[in-house]
Structure 1
Amino acid sequence: MTLETLPHHQGDAAGLARLLARALLAGHWQPGDAFPKELDIGTHFDVSRNQVRNALTRLTSAGLLTRTAGRGTQVREMSDWHLLDPLMSEWMTGLINLDPQLIRAIYAFRFSAEPVVAGLAAEAADADDIARLEAAFEGMQKTARSPNARAQHAEYDVMFHDATYQASHNLVWRQMGHLLRPSIMALVHSSQHRTDTFDDSLTRHRHVLEAIVCGDVDAASFAAREVLRRTAIDLGIVN
């Protein structure tokens, strides 16, 4: 792919790095592809070579690119990307057109992790946690019927999952929930575009909430898995 399809950039090296990173995350260039040369990037975006180098350094440190003398710059394999790097989370925030391969990778992690997290939440959730979960679910319900409220619905959906991570009262999972928020939002937005109704999704989220409120670990884990099975259908991963 070329630079011509990307919007022009006005700003510093951090802004240029964000623009290029988001293009990579959206699949504009694929793993193994040669990345544009420094001179071409500078010319296209009308920025200094120093800004370009600083931007590429950020992308390299996040595992997106590899730079080798004599071979230039190449896109690294997705397995080498530092997806939990806070900088990567920042770049992913608000991005809804993730590369399909990346969507599958994020989904696979969530399918493995979130049933465990929901089970921990059923064991550890306190009154404040339950209040946050109930508020998020009520928001999902209120915005489910309005086509104009889909963005709000997505926010409440992500709030629900974030509240589940927080309710685990596990330091690592809580941090993981924070770092995963942009990627969860990206999957929620992607899945919304493939469904006309949220009725089934709401039912599945309600089961998660009820199981956590009741302190039923097995039921919470099962219900969280069923939420993600619905997500897989909406994403087109399964039929």
Structure 2
Amino acid sequence: MAQIFGAIKRHIACMCTILQDMAKSCPGDSPVNAKSVKNPQRPSVAEFLAEAIFSGVYRPGDFVPREIDLCEQFTINRSAVRSDLRRLVDVGIIERISGHGSKVREYEEWNILDPVVTDWITRYASPNPRIQREILAFRLDVEPYVAMTAARRAKARDLVAIEEAFEGMGKNLYDATCAEERRLHSDYDVAFHVAIFKATHNIVWSQLSHILRPSIYLLVSESNISTTDPEESLERHRQVMEHIRARNPREAFLAAQAVLEGTAKALGIETGDSRLGKELELL
């Protein structure tokens, strides 16, 4: 367990550093259009600035537009602007400096695992090979252990949840006739992995599955599009399910590794020195 949390700490640090590379690599010379804000009630300054920051328009040390300018741009009052800026302050992305305005903070200060921030990453900073590689490396270090633990602790209702998600994957793989049904395949794929986290009956792992859900979806949706053999991918998922059901921790561990190695292959990502269990003796 100490190794797992050590890996988590390393990968959180990596996620912070890759954001800097991500900002440099994303187009930053064209202004973000406020029309991209999707809030039907009123324009969201928080979403507008999040998109601008994650796409590299504003980088650490830059000041975002003044409150009065944002009021004019979005035709909303100052109270609404301040409320939206507070959302960015609360997750560590900007800081308010009295008499100067709001400045983007250094990446190390961002609450990178906050669900709001993770969601912004997946919506405004993808696709990005570097961030995909780091998310995959994190999952390779963690999810095989989660599957191994699930094989030891899963209860009947957990097995049902895993099986239902797997059946949903299969149905929307073979019967998909439109983009919506293909999207459902990815939704069930994510639900499959989340159900395994929950099957550990550990509150930390369960909560972590919610935090990581947007990042998992990012990889799942991209790999399901680019894979050349979706049936083989489905079979790898079935192997994980069967080994958890059969209470085979070691085989569940290895099957989970195989699933993620398949994801890496589909995305064209080198796994490098990931996989904590590669050199460890499994009990």
Report TM bin, short chain: 0.7 to 0.9
- Counterpart of 2:13 in structure 1 is none
In the alignment, is the contact (CA less than 8 A) between 1:59 and 1:65 conserved in 2? yes
In the alignment, is the contact (CA less than 8 A) between 1:154 and 1:188 conserved in 2? yes
2:259 is paired with a residue of what secondary structure? helix
Cα distance in 2 for partners of 1:20, 1:167 equals 38
CA spacing shift, 1:18–1:72, aligned 2, 3 Å = closer
Q: Deviations 1:90-129 (Å, cap 9, x if unpaired)? A: x449838635243333322222211111111010011111
Cα distance in 1 for partners of 2:106, 2:216 equals 23
- Counterpart of 1:41 in structure 2 is 70
1:60 is paired with a residue of what secondary structure? helix
Matched AA of 2:200: S
Which of 98, 101, 104 is the matching residue for 2:126?
98
- Counterpart of 2:225 in structure 1 is 193
- Counterpart of 1:230 in structure 2 is 262
Q: TM-score, normalised by structure 1?
A: 0.83
Cα distance in 2 for partners of 1:33, 1:99 equals 25
**CA displacement at 1:11 relative to structure 2:** 3.8
CA spacing shift, 1:223–1:229, aligned 2, 3 Å = same
Structure 2 unaligned blocks of 5 or more: 1-27, 272-283
Which of 68, 88, 103 is the matching residue for 1:73?
103
Cα distance in 2 for partners of 1:84, 1:207 equals 30
Q: Deviations 1:155-203 (Å, cap 9, x if unpaired)? A: 1101100110110111110111122222212222222332344122112
Give the aligned CA root-mean-square deviation in angstroms.
2.9
Matched AA of 1:60: V
In the alignment, is the contact (CA less than 8 A) between 1:144 and 1:150 conserved in 2? yes
In the alignment, is the contact (CA less than 8 A) between 1:92 and 1:182 conserved in 2? no
Cα distance in 2 for partners of 1:33, 1:191 equals 35
Which of 28, 32, 39 is the matching residue for 2:60?
32
In the alignment, is the contact (CA less than 8 A) between 2:223 and 2:263 conserved in 1? yes
1:95 is paired with a residue of what secondary structure? helix
In the alignment, is the contact (CA less than 8 A) between 1:117 and 1:168 conserved in 2? yes
Which of 190, 194, 198 is the matching residue for 1:162?
194
Alignment of 1:83-232 (within 5 A): 83-88=112-117, 91-92=119-120, 95=123, 98=126, 100=128, 101-145=130-174, 146=176, 148=178, 149-232=181-264
In the alignment, is the contact (CA less than 8 A) between 1:94 and 1:186 conserved in 2? yes
Q: Deviations 1:34-81 (Å, cap 9, x if unpaired)? A: 25312443333222333223222211221223445658512532x433
1:54 is paired with a residue of what secondary structure? helix
Aligned length: 235
Cα distance in 2 for partners of 1:88, 1:179 equals 10
CA spacing shift, 1:4–1:136, aligned 2, 3 Å = closer
1:73 is paired with a residue of what secondary structure? strand
Cα distance in 2 for partners of 1:197, 1:45 equals 47
Structure 1 unaligned blocks of 5 or more: none
Residue 61 of structure 1 pairs with residue 124 of structure 2: no
Cα distance in 2 for partners of 1:30, 1:111 equals 32
